[in-house]
């Protein structure tokens, strides 16, 4: 009588174990599926395209929206815990469009560029220097504080004369020195708004490219060539990554330097890194995707598009793309006039073994915000620890300011 009982007991136990394993498997699978769906990412995989193998951490093909939304942050003061010492340089693309662009730049300065200045804890005042302008870094490159200037920015404006011939130089056609790609002052009469912004308000956080102002005809190429040459000629600046963003993008720098960067620490440690909102080619090629089939073009070679609202490349990759590792003939082939994002993507994915970092997870950036109030509203909605102080957000009315910087009347 004992043998049948023991056999039955064994079968029951085995059945319970199998059931538990199946439940565990279903839970893990569901959790993984939820994470992938929520953040639009998958695990590391290899993508083969155009006879090239590209190591990538890529988004799911149906989970990347054109406008990236950002969940509300938990209310907590910024800390230094888990902060990894890396230095990013971002060119914020803007132009001399008068009062409207001046107000947008001021909204950027008053919001996310002021995060650490306004939110740094009293016991760590050094964190106030986490964000700095490129000009500040150039004037003090030997910053030894471990948290100084991790996010470096500059407003990028075309400084060449607007009547320059259309076939202006790009890449090494312009020269081989850093100074060949920028000018100290624009070669045209700037607007009254920009003039007062720089002289009366003392905002000198600009980089004027030697190229004429243009949005889709080489401004991105000129910026990345200049920034790459800067990392080559000024290694003491210790710039690890260079990138670009638009002036209607909001960056939550604490998330970028904290949990997002920690989450992708392994990927960011690789030599050839590119990051941004990764849009799969098949998604942006579809006319029904919201991207209007922009990638459905025989001149677009890349497996992903990296929209220009926010993208970056490691210093080594940028130097290889724009300085020492790519021929002028190849650059011209990858160039995509009329769509800078696709040209940058072509360049990035023409290199073997590029590791990609998706911006979607932990949402360090959101886009677009077209007006100062729109930017303020979105920024403070998603920055729970930030207190909105209208006095700090006030944008000076340049029309009422006299030559000495004082209000008239």
Q: What is the pLDDT along the chain (409 residues), one digit of tens a residue?
A: 443 434 444 444 445 443 443 334 333 333 323 322 322 333 233 333 333 334 433 333 333 333 333 333 334 555 545 566 899 999 999 999 899 999 999 999 999 999 998 877 666 777 888 999 999 999 987 676 767 899 999 999 988 877 665 556 777 888 888 888 888 888 788 889 999 999 999 999 999 998 888 777 788 999 999 999 999 999 989 999 999 999 999 999 988 988 888 899 999 999 999 999 999 999 999 988 888 899 999 999 999 999 999 999 999 999 999 998 888 888 888 888 788 899 999 999 999 999 999 988 568 888 888 899 999 999 998 887 888 889 889 999 988 876 555 554 4
Does 12 reside within a domain? no
Does 322 reside within a domain? yes
Hey, what are 229's tokens?
């040459």
pLDDT at position 133, please?
96
Number of domains in the chain: 1
pLDDT at position 67, please?
33
Name which of 298, 310, 305, 312 is nearest 283 in CA terms. 305
pLDDT at position 180, please?
83
Structural domain harbouring 96: 45-387
100-104 long-range contacts, CB within 8 A, separation 24+: 101/193, 101/194, 101/247, 102/193, 102/194, 102/197, 102/398, 103/371, 103/372, 103/395, 104/247, 104/248, 104/371, 104/372, 104/375
Does 131 reside within a domain? yes
Does 282 reside within a domain? yes
Does 158 reside within a domain? yes
Tell me how long the chain is: 409
Q: Write the pLDDT tens digit of every residue in 69-81.
A: 333 333 455 554 5
Give the torsion sign (CA, 169, 172, 175, 177).
Answer: positive
Does 331 reside within a domain? yes
Give the torsion sign (CA, 68, 74, 80, 81).
Answer: negative
Does 8 reside within a domain? no
User: Phi and psi of 211, rounded to 5°?
Assistant: -70, 155
pLDDT at position 28, please?
34
Does 14 reside within a domain? no
Count of beta carbons in the 10 Å neighbourhood of residue 31 = 10
């Amino acid at each position: 009588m004992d043998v049948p009982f023991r056999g039955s007991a064994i079968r029951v136990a085995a059945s319970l174990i199998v059931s538990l394993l199946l439940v565990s498997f279903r839970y893990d699978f569901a959790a993984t599926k939820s994470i992938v769906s929520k953040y639009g990412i998958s695990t590391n995989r290899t993508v083969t395209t155009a006879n090239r193998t590209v190591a990538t951490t890529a988004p799911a093909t149906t989970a990347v929206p054109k406008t990236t939304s950002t969940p509300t942050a938990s209310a907590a003061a910024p800390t230094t815990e888990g902060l990894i010492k890396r230095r990013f340089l971002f060119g914020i693309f803007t132009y001399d469009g008068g009062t409207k662009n001046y107000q947008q730049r001021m909204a950027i300065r008053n919001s996310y560029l002021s995060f650490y200045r306004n939110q740094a804890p009293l016991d760590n005042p050094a964190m106030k220097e986490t964000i700095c302008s490129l000009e500040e870094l150039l004037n003090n490159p030997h910053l030894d504080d471990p948290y100084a200037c991790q996010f470096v920015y500059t407003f990028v404006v075309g400084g060449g004369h607007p009547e320059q011939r259309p076939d202006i130089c790009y890449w090494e056609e312009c020269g081989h020195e850093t100074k060949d790609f920028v000018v100290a002052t624009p070669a045209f009469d700037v607007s009254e708004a920009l003039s007062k912004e720089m002289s009366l308000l003392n905002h000198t956080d600009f980089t004027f490219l030697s190229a004429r102002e243009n949005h889709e005809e080489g401004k991105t190429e000129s910026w990345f060539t200049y920034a790459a040459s800067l990392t080559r000629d000024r290694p003491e600046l210790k710039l690890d990554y260079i990138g670009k963003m638009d002036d209607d993008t909001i960056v939550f720098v604490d998330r970028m330097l904290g949990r997002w960067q920690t989450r992708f620490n392994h990927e960011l440690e690789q030599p050839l890194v590119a990051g941004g909102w990764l849009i799969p080619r098949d998604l942006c090629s579809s006319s029904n995707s919201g991207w209007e089939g922009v990638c459905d073009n025989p001149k677009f070679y890349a497996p992903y598009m990296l929209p220009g609202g926010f993208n970056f490349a490691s210093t080594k990759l940028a130097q290889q793309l724009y300085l020492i590792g790519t021929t002028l003939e190849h650059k011209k082939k990858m160039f995509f006039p009329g769509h800078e994002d696709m040209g940058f993507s072509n360049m990035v994915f023409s290199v073997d073994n590029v590791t990609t970092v998706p911006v979607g997870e932990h949402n360090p950036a959101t886009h677009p915000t077209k007006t100062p109030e729109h930017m303020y509203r979105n920024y403070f909605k998603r920055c729970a620890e930030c207190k909105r102080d209208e006095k700090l957000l006030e944008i000076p009315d340049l029309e009422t300011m006299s030559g000495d910087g004082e209000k008239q009347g």
